[in-house]
A and B are shown apart, each in its own frame.
Chain A
Amino acid sequence: MVFSFIVMPLLVAAFLPLIGKFSKKLLPDVLTNAALAFLVFNSILLVKPVFNQGFIVQNLHWLGEKVNLQVALDAFNLFMLFTISLVSLCISLFSIDYLEHYGHKSTFYALFLVMIAGMNGLVLVPDLFSVYLFLEVAAVASYALVAFGLGYDELEASFKYLMLSVVASAFALLSITVIFGMTGSLNFQAVAQGLQDLEARLVLGVCVAFFIMGFGLKAALVPFHAWLPDAHPSAPAPISAMLSGLLIKVSGIYALFRIVYSVIGITPALSRLLMALGTISMVVAALLALGQKDIKRMLAYSSISQVGYIVLGLALGTPLGIAGALFHLFNHAVAKGLLFLNSGSIQHITGTRNLEELGGLGKMVPVTAGTNLVGALSIAGVPPLAGFWSKLIIIMALVQAREFGYALVAILASILTLWYYLLIQRQAFFGRVAEKWLQVREAPFWMSAANVVLALVCVLAGIFFTPIFKTWISPAAEALARGIQQVLMWGL
């Protein structure tokens, strides 16, 4: 059942506060992880039918009456669903131990699940207004989660995030309204059909500009990125991982490119604009990351920079470019999730995130150090880890499309990335053990376990790169590259 991706997390979330009254830790832990494991399993089960038929459109009948609960699933959504489920399962495993000192685990898990339901819904619905709504579901949950620690920084970051995010979704909704006015419909297919018959390039251009502004704010593309380096580091580590690994990709990149590719249809000018935006984010954020002393702030800037890569690849529009970008999206979700969780481990172990205070931890906490190295090298693009292949494909696609300038910038930015990730490694893990860290112990079991699982995914996706890419990423990229034909095919 495709609906379980939305209904199941919501149901569990609705009951968790009640359950939390009599079982404060055990039951919430078990229930949340079981629900997420079920979603991972479910998304794997869906692979076969989706790839055989090309797409699934489901309508739910309720109490014998036909109601309009419609979801559409193709290879692209399925890819996103699997990424969301897998990464969020690892994050919730990590939270079992990490959340001990925050208290109110059941509320935390409930918000966490609502956020996942929002993201899953956003990915599944074939309707513009519902896209906005589920975006808002995920966003409202994430405001509370960023502020979950109730400390000064958390509240401040959450408030700034809220203000910018509300403006972003208002712009997206205004644009949706104007499209609704022009086509009289909100359904992807009807809108795509209507816009084809309509001679209104100028208004459509304004709509697209609003979409780029709204979803660009959500994805933290560079002119709109100011909130991210505050919000992501201030949140509890699992939530940083969630926001950086998944939320900016789902509510920013997925929403923007689904609408631009499958509903409006991409034009060369738009493609150039998005490529430029992606490249600017890639370079500017990489430069800003260099000077950071706080691990999580550096990781947050790195997220902006890697989102730049993804946008560059997707905007290029060739099947190879899209495939590379999607693969990078997956790799970044896994590796950045891993690194943020790892920063949580480091904070748990030592009580600080300041790179200057750390040093020589590698000998004391080999699991944390090892997984951190894997994640960092994967994002930085060192073979044979997964991040190397995805960056290579994006750069190959750029060369193939004869965009040598962009290719060169992408290579330079990845060297910069490698540099600042090596800085983290050197300052935190290598070198002599500082006196005060001689007593530190390895992170608790579930935290290490989650880190190890994610690190294994990074390694395996790198080693089995060819089969994964062929059977899984390419169909997703093709689904997107078909443009509005894909949506017209659904027969909604």
Chain B
Amino acid sequence: MSNLWFLYLFFAALLVFIGLYCLLTMRNLIRLFIAVEIISKGVSLAIVATGAVKNNILLAQSLAITYIVVEVALVAAALALIINIYKKNRSLDVRLLSKLKG
């Protein structure tokens, strides 16, 4: 089954690409975070599929579960940030977040 590895990673890379594209071009803060979620879907697909095709599914499964827990903590922190930003300037437009210039 090892030759299926590239197929799964192909799809995982596709998800990461979709997320990155959205992250780089879109403006709504919530949508940006949806993009982050899509990237992390790609990552967890890669983890589980790698375990499955390489006969390491038990290990990969526990990694995936840990990853999901991390994701939840991250989502909680990020959404709290988004709500706070919304309270401050009544908008979710990322273009308004340009007071600081890198």
A140–B46 contact, CB under 8 A? no
A167–B23 contact, CB under 8 A? yes
CA of A150 to CA of B85, assembled, Å: 9
Q: Is A308 an interface residue (CB 8 A)?
A: no
A147–B32 contact, CB under 8 A? no
Given the known interface contacts A152-B89, A181-B50, A227-B102, the answer about A163 and B32 at a Cβ–Cβ threshold of 8 Å is: yes
- Which residues A229-274 have CB closer than 8 A to chain B? 229-230, 234
A156–B99 contact, CB under 8 A? yes
Count A-B pairs with CB separation below 8 Å. 95
Q: Which of A153, A160, A170, A225 contacts B39 (CB 8 A)?
A: A170
- Chain A at the B interface: SS class: helix
- Which residues B11-59 have CB closer than 8 A to chain A? 12, 16, 20, 23, 29, 32, 36, 39-40, 42-43, 46-47, 50-51, 53-56, 59
Q: Is A51 an interface residue (CB 8 A)?
A: no
B81–A143 contact, CB under 8 A? yes
Of the candidate stretches A78-86, A171-179, A480-488, the one touching chain B is: A171-179
Q: Which residues of A contact B68 (CB under 8 A)?
A: none
Return A203 CB to nearest CB of chain B, in Å: 10
B73–A140 contact, CB under 8 A? yes
Chain A residue total in the interface (Cβ 8 A) = 35
Chain B residue total in the interface (Cβ 8 A) = 41
CA of A153 to CA of B63, assembled, Å: 36
Given the known interface contacts A144-B77, A226-B102, the answer about A177 and B47 at a Cβ–Cβ threshold of 8 Å is: yes
Q: Which residues of A contact B66 (CB under 8 A)?
A: 129, 133
CA of A226 to CA of B29, assembled, Å: 19
A155–B85 contact, CB under 8 A? yes
Q: Is B88 an interface residue (CB 8 A)?
A: yes
Q: Is A458 an interface residue (CB 8 A)?
A: no
Q: Is A49 an interface residue (CB 8 A)?
A: no
Give the nearest-CB partner of B20 in chain A: A167
Q: Which of A159, A167, A186, A234 contacts B82 (CB 8 A)?
A: A159
Q: Is A157 an interface residue (CB 8 A)?
A: yes
A160–B36 contact, CB under 8 A? no
- Chain B at the A interface: SS class: helix
- Which residues B55-102 have CB closer than 8 A to chain A? 55-56, 59-60, 63, 66-67, 70, 73-74, 77-78, 81-82, 84-85, 88-89, 97, 99-100, 102
Q: Which residues of B contact A349 (CB under 8 A)?
A: none
CA of A229 to CA of B101, assembled, Å: 8
Return A450 CB to nearest CB of chain B, in Å: 27
17 other A-B residue contacts (CB within 8 Å) besides A143-B78, A234-B100: A133-B66, A136-B70, A140-B77, A152-B88, A156-B99, A156-B100, A158-B81, A160-B97, A162-B81, A163-B23, A166-B40, A180-B51, A180-B56, A181-B5, A184-B56, A227-B102, A229-B102
Return A408 CB to nearest CB of chain B, in Å: 29
Q: Which residues of A contact B81 (CB under 8 A)?
A: 143, 147, 155, 158-159, 162
CB pairs A–B below 8 angstroms (24 shown): A133-B66, A133-B70, A140-B77, A143-B77, A143-B78, A143-B81, A147-B84, A152-B88, A152-B99, A153-B100, A166-B39, A170-B40, A170-B43, A173-B43, A173-B47, A174-B16, A174-B43, A177-B50, A180-B50, A181-B50, A184-B55, A225-B102, A229-B102, A230-B100
A177–B46 contact, CB under 8 A? yes
Give the nearest-CB partner of B60 in chain A: A180
Given the known interface contacts A160-B97, A166-B39, A170-B40, the answer about A155 and B46 at a Cβ–Cβ threshold of 8 Å is: no
CB 8 Å contact bits of A23-43 with B (1 = contact, 0 = none)? 000000000000000000000
B77–A162 contact, CB under 8 A? yes
- Which residues A151-209 have CB closer than 8 A to chain B? 152-153, 155-160, 162-163, 166-167, 170, 173-174, 177-178, 180-181, 184, 186
Given the known interface contacts A133-B70, A155-B84, A159-B85, the answer about A181 and B97 at a Cβ–Cβ threshold of 8 Å is: no
CA of A152 to CA of B86, assembled, Å: 10
Given the known interface contacts A170-B16, A180-B50, the answer about A136 and B74 at a Cβ–Cβ threshold of 8 Å is: yes
B89–A181 contact, CB under 8 A? no
- Which residues A403-428 have CB closer than 8 A to chain B? none
Return B14 CB to nearest CB of chain A, in Å: 13
B100–A157 contact, CB under 8 A? yes
CA of A144 to CA of B79, assembled, Å: 12
A162–B100 contact, CB under 8 A? no
Please indicate which of the listed interface residues B29, B42, B50 has the most CB atoms of chain A within 10 Å of its own CB: B50
